[in-house]
Amino acid sequence: MIMNLYIYIPIFMCLIGSLVYVSNRKYLLITLLSLEYLMLSLFLFLYLYMMNNSLEMYFLMLFLVFSVCEGALGLSVLVSMIRTHGNNYFQSFNTLLC
């Protein structure tokens, strides 16, 4: 009974993260943070699902590896954008000039 209530927490986290991702389009850093928040909520959902069904946890390790690679790639894009354009606004970033 109590385990069924825990499943709603990652779903609520995913909805809030999606709302922040869709609503804020001004800064790249906020967008990357909301994507990491979505990954965290998805990880929590997968963990609770696998613990509830007594499954192996090897997939979670693979998921964490891909999540860290996604975060590192996002930070490298952020650093290169700040070096080339001087800020992290989406308005000053134009992909046609590259």
Helices 58-85, 28-52: axis angle to 10 degrees equals: 180
Q: Evaluate if pTM is beyond 0.95.
A: no
d(CA 42, CA 34): 12
pLDDT number for residue 36: 92
pLDDT number for residue 98: 52
Q: Is the pLDDT of residue 97 over 70?
A: no
Q: Which domain holds residue 55?
A: 2-97
CATH number for the domain that contains residue 26: 1.10.287.3510
d(CA 9, CA 45): 8
pLDDT number for residue 93: 65
In tens, the pLDDT along 22-81 reads: 887 788 888 889 999 999 999 998 998 888 888 888 999 999 999 999 999 999 988 988
Per the structure, the count of domains in the chain is 1
